[in-house]
Amino acid sequence: MNKLELHSVAFEVTRRCNLKCVGFCMRGEAQNFDMTKEMVDAFFDTESRGYILDSIHNLYFTGGEPTLKPEIIIYTINKIIEENIPVCNITMVTNGQLFVLELVDAFNRFNKYRSWYVKNKLQTGKEIRLSEIIEYIMNKNYAKIVFSTDRFHAPIPENIRNLYSIYTKEVKLMDYAVKDEYIVRIGLSSIGKDFKKEECEYDKVTEDHLIIWKNVYMTAKGDIMFGGDGSYQYIDDNIIGQVNQVSVFASAETHNQKKLNYNKFS
Ligand code: SF4
């Protein structure tokens, strides 16, 4: 069966938000759409569409504000652990206005599971990627929570920040404040640049084994696209199909842009 590696995947958990970052938010008006468990199941059920997921290097939970729909993130993490789905790292990007203990517990569980999984591979001599060994030696934070802390977002309440610090276990907590000069240049703004239709950057490892470098994005409506920045309108205009129908493997070629050198990481 065909094999697919994905460098990065983002789940737009919800299009709802509890902030209005005026002049900054590239999404536009919030929308009342949430991802469903069926969409998550369909994303990972690739065999029915003729390929297996060999690995996902980075899975991002984004939005909207992902903490408004924690059950989808918890469901996804539990599914990865229970079904041993090869996801290496997970990251949630949040505005930090909410703390949900069950959600943080799920991030802790993923980190523990992933540390055990890689250690077990090392100890038992199973096939292991160089990137996994480096990650294991350098950094045991397989789960990250990133707070948006630029001047457009509301400050993160101190008590919320403390709760994250108290309850996370080896989950990396990071602040990210996009610099003003990048806001327009890379389009992270309602007045940012116009996005060009994004296409798929991929490499063929063998005829039946692809690695896709471009971010694969699933919207809160269950649509798939390559890329993921820009407004909801832009995203909706550039989808390649519904998650339960589209073959990401086959779409790599039909949305081909250019081939990069394999071995970007091993
Ligand atoms: S930038 Fe993020 S937090 Fe701010 S309104 Fe947009 S989705 Fe919400």
Residue 266 in any domain: the answer is no
- Kindly list the distances between the CA atom of residue 190 and the CA atoms of 95, 111, 177, in Å, as whole numbers in the listed order: 17, 35, 17
Residue 203 in any domain: the answer is yes
Q: What is the largest CA-CA distance in the chain?
A: 53
Alpha-carbon torsion (113, 118, 121, 123), positive or negative: negative
Contact 43, 250 (CB under 8 A): no
Contact 147, 185 (CB under 8 A): no
Confidence of residue 264 (pLDDT cuts 50, 70, 90): very low
Ligand 1: centre distance to CA 204 (Å):
36
Tokens of 202: 């991929």
pLDDT at 196: 59
Q: Could you tell me the residue range of the domain that residue 31 belongs to?
A: 2-259
| Mean pLDDT of the residues in the chain | 87
Q: Which of 5-19, 51-65, 97-111, 188-202 has the lowest mean pLDDT?
A: 188-202
Q: pLDDT of 183-233, one tens digit each? A: 766 656 666 555 555 678 888 888 899 999 999 999 999 999 998 888 899
Ligand 1: centre distance to CA 256 (Å):
31
Residue 220 in any domain: the answer is yes
Q: pLDDT of 52-96, one tens digit each? A: 999 999 999 999 999 999 999 999 999 999 999 999 999 999 999
Decide whether any atom of ligand 1 lies within 6 Å of the 13 Cβ: no
Is the per-residue pLDDT at 144 higher than 90?
yes
Q: Provide the whole-model pTM.
A: 0.90
Q: When comparing pLDDT for 128 and 49, which is higher?
A: 49
Residue 241 in any domain: the answer is yes
Residue 41 in any domain: the answer is yes
Decide whether any atom of ligand 1 lies within 6 Å of the 64 Cβ: yes
Ligand 1 atom closest to Cα of 17?
A: 8
- Kindly list the distances between the CA atom of residue 245 and the CA atoms of 8, 35, 36, in Å, as whole numbers in the listed order: 20, 16, 16
CATH of residue 128:
3.20.20
- How many folded domains does the chain comprise? 1
Is the per-residue pLDDT at 265 higher than 70?
no
